[in-house]
Amino acid sequence: MRHGVGERMDFLKKSTTIMGVLNVTPDSFSDGGKFIDIDHAVAHARQMEDEGADIIDVGGESTRPGSDPVREEEELRRVIPVIERLAHEVTVPISIDTYKPRVAEAALIAGARMVNDVSGLRNEEMIAVVARAHVPVVIMHMLGEPKSMQENPEYRDVVDDIKHFFEDRIRIAQVAGITDVILDPGIGFGKKLEHNLEILRRLREFETLGLPILVGVSRKSFIGALSGAPVEERLPGSIAAAVIAVGNGASIVRVHDVKATRQALAIVNAVYGR
Ligand code: HH2
């Protein structure tokens, strides 16, 4: 376990931590509509746990490029009953994937133990919710908003710019008393193909910030752009990208395909002696 990592982040293992994706949405880019029914969602989470997921990340709003925001009531209606069930039916921690403070707060009450904020703690109320609950938080970098983020995103230097964003957010989190922070450069969130590749290539540069790094590459469109594969055929590219991310310092990967990723990472971690 890394220095500076508190006991609330005891799900972080010596080898790589796998965060399994549970999208309770009708429109997620790769699995929209598959787990909208509570029983299906719970069964899928249990399966991911059996396959080796260390965290289950529950989301009720698609943030794919071009997506429209979902109303808070609707997001609550989708995720809360699922989290309430999962709190009793899985043993691994549940993370809530939301940028809405009220959804995060309700999810924590329902049994979630971590907040995955794709807007990167840019909302004061969200900072207060996380600080009050004393839970780990993922600060993800996103340039702009899902609706428009892929309209010609520009950086001076993509890694340096994201690092500056993180430094700023870490300071604000510290002032608020938030101690357990995980950083995520946000692959595909306001990034062109070359930005995504450069982030993966230079991922180690984020290590100077001294915090665990999470990366989500699973099935994303840069894999389609490089291979021509439709979303349901992107497992090989997803595995390659996860292996590169872990080889370059990621300690958590967010994936849809837990079993296959677990096998691939067993090799990586064995080779590197972890
Ligand atoms: N990617 C997605 C959603 N949440 N959270 C973090 N921390 N990092 C990511 O890379 C990330 C994320 C998008 O993937 P998915 O949930 O499968 O799709 P959708 O947003 O369409 O539901």
The reply to whether 254 belongs to the active site is yes
Q: What is the model's pLDDT at position 6?
A: 67
Q: What is the model's pLDDT at position 1?
A: 39
DSSP code string of the chain: --TT--GGGTT--SS-EEEEEEE--S--TTTTTSS-SHHHHHHHHHHHHHHT-SEEEEESS--STTPPPPPHHHHHHHHHHHHHHHHHH--S-EEEE-S-HHHHHHHHHHT--EEEETT-S-SHHHHHHHHHHT--EEEE--SS-TTTTTSS---SSHHHHHHHHHHHHHHHHHHHT---EEEE--TTSS--HHHHHHHHHTGGGGGGG-S-BEE--TT-HHHHHHH---GGG-HHHHHHHHHHHHHTT-SEEEES-HHHHHHHHHHHHHHTT-
- Whole-number Å distance, alpha carbon 171 to ligand 1 midpoint, is 25
- Is the beta carbon of 30 within 6 A of some atom in ligand 1? yes
Q: Ligand 1, residues 27, 62, 150, 181: which to mutate, most atoms within 8 A of Cβ?
A: 62
- Whole-number Å distance, alpha carbon 109 to ligand 1 midpoint, is 22
Q: What is the model's pLDDT at position 3?
A: 41
- Is the beta carbon of 119 within 6 A of some atom in ligand 1? no
- Over its length of 274 residues, how does the chain's per-residue pLDDT go in tens digits? 344 456 677 777 678 999 999 999 999 999 999 999 999 999 999 999 999 999 999 999 999 998 989 999 999 999 999 999 999 999 999 999 999 999 999 999 999 999 999 999 999 999 999 999 999 999 999 998 888 888 889 999 999 999 999 999 999 999 999 999 999 999 999 999 999 999 999 999 999 999 999 999 999 999 999 999 999 999 999 999 999 999 999 999 999 999 999 999 999 999 988 7
The reply to whether 220 belongs to the active site is yes
Q: Which atom of ligand 1 is nearest to the CA of 140?
A: 7
Q: What is the model's pLDDT at position 273?
A: 80
Q: What is the model's pLDDT at position 13?
A: 66
List the residue whose alpha carbon is closest to atom 18 of ligand 1.
Answer: 28
Q: Ligand 1, residues 17, 18, 58, 63: which to mutate, most atoms within 8 A of Cβ?
A: 63
Q: What is the model's pLDDT at position 5?
A: 58
